[in-house]
Amino acid sequence: MESIFGTDGIRGVANRYPITPELALNVGRAVAAVLKTNNRARIFIGKDGRLSGDMLEAALAAGICSAGADVYLAGIIPTPAIAYLATINSADAGIMVSASHNPFEDNGIKIFNSLGYKLEAAEEERIENLALNPGQGLVPAPPEKLGGINHMLDAWDRYIEFLKRSLGKINNLNGLRIVLDCSNGATSMIAPRLFSELGASVTAIANRPDGLNINENCGSQHIETLQEKVREKGADIGLAFDGDGDRLIAVDENGEPVTGDHVLAICANHMKQAGMLKNNLVVSTVMSNLGLINALKEMDISHIATDVGDRYVLEQMRKNRAVMGGEDSGHMIFLDHHTSGDGIMTALRLIEAMQLADEPLSSLRRIMTVYPQVLKNVRVRTKTDIYKFPEIAQTIERVEKHLGEQGRVLVRYSGTQPLCRIMVEGPDPEETRRLCQEIVDVVADKLGE
C-alpha cells in the first residue's frame, strides 16, 4: 500500500481516505504514542480555516486524549506558529491541519516534533504503521488517565511577539506602505495586525476566510489582484502568503513579482554584507532558476541544490550549518530565527534588506536576471517511473541536448498531488514554451488521465 505520508505530511481530499476523521483519530493516537517525551504528553494543534478543519481537529484531539495525552488548541494560526508554540511550551509535538496552497476541498496533517522540526522518515513510518494497524500497538489509556483539551487564548499574541523579536536592525516600519494578500487563510488576522503594530500603513486583501475561499484566486499562487492593488495604492511593497502562511511571494512598488529565488538572492546579499550568512552558504532546490545560481556565483556565495521540498532544504541546511535556504515557490527558512518556513518572517527579512540598503524593491530585485522558465502540470493516472517510457526519455534527452548549457529540464512528480511537473528553462521565452510543450504532450499521451 502507498504511504499516507507525502513530502509534506498527509494530504488529500477532505472526508476521503486518507483525510478522514477515522484515520485522523488514529493518527492522533499514534502521534501521542510515538512522539511522547514526558509522562503525560502535550500536543499543540492549529488549523488554517478550511471548512474541514474543525472535523479533523476534533478527530485528532479525540485520538490524542484517548492515548492519555493533553491537547492545546491554537485555533486558526499559521503553520510556523505551531512549530514555534510547540517548542517554547516544551510540548511533545505540534500538528497543523492544512493543505497549504491547495484548494479548500483538500486538507492535510503536518506534524512537528518537540524541537519544532518536521518529522524524520523513520518517525513518519512508525506513526503510519500504528495509525493503519491500531490493534497492533496502540493501547488506550485507562479512564483515570485520559487526556484533556485546552484552548489557547493567547496563541496569536505569543506568535506576534516572537515575530517582533526576530526583527534585526530595524524596530519599526513607520512610513512603509504595504499591501497584504492573506489568501483567505491562516494569516488573515495576524499579518495585518502585526504590520500595523509595527507602524506600517496596511491595506489587506483576501483576509476574510469563510471556509471555502482559501487560496481562491488569491495568495502566493495568484498575485494578479495584489499587483493591481499595489499600483493603485502606490504601495512600497506587496506581500502574498499562502493558505497556511509558510510561503511568501512579494511584489515590488511597480507591481512586478519578486519570487522566492529573488528573495533568496536579496537576503543572501544583505546577510553576507552584514556578516550574518553563516558558512557563506545558501541552500535551494533543483527548481531554482539559473538566474539565482549565477547571482550567487557573482556574490561569491556557495550553493547547494536539493530535491524539491522544504524538508530536503532543511536537511541540508542542518547538515552543512547553513542559516538560509528556500524554494522558488516562496518557502524560506531562516534557521537562525526559526525551525520552519515562515512567510511573515520572510517578509520581515526582505523589508529589513530594503530599509538597510535604502533602495526600493524594484532596484534590489535586479540582483538576479531571471531565465525564461515554463512550468506545466500534467494530471496522471499513476506515478510510474517516467524513464520506463522510451518516448518520454527520448523527448527529454532531445530537449536537453538542444538547450545545452543555456538551459535545463526538470521532470518530476508532485509529492502531494497526482501531477507530473515539467519545467524547462532557456534563453528565449517562445522557444522555452515550445520545448516544454513537447515534453508535456508526450507525458500526457503516455501517463495522463
DSSP secondary structure string, 32-45?
Answer: HHHH--SSS-EEEE
CB-based contacts of 133: which residues, under 8 Å, 6+ apart? Answer: none
Give one word for 341, left, alpha or beta, with left for phi > 0 and alpha for psi -120 to 50: beta
In this structure, are residues 361 and 237 in contact, taking their beta carbons and an 8 Å threshold?
yes
- Dihedral sign for Cα 327, 329, 330, 333, please: negative
Given the residues 100, 183, 284, 329, the one annotated as active site = 100
Q: Which helix (H) or strand (E) holds 314?
A: helix 310-320
CB-based contacts of 410: which residues, under 8 Å, 6+ apart? Answer: 286, 287, 421, 422, 423, 424
In this structure, are residues 120 and 128 in contact, taking their beta carbons and an 8 Å threshold?
no
Report the C-alpha dihedral over residues 399, 400, 405, 409, rounded to 10 degrees. 100
For 187-289, where are the alpha helices, taking DSSP H only? 190-197, 224-233, 260-273
Q: Helix 21-35 and helix 121-132: axis angle, to 10°?
A: 130
3-state helix, strand, coil in the chain (%, to 5): 40, 20, 40
Question: How big is the chain, counted in residues?
Answer: 449
Cell numbers standing for residue 282: 545558501
CA atoms within 13 A on the CB side of 166: 24
Neighbours of 9 (CB within 10 A): 25
Cell numbers standing for residue 449: 488521465
340 part of the active site: no
CA distances 123 to 120, 190, 305, 308, 370, Å, are 5, 31, 25, 20, 39
Annotated active-site positions, please?
100
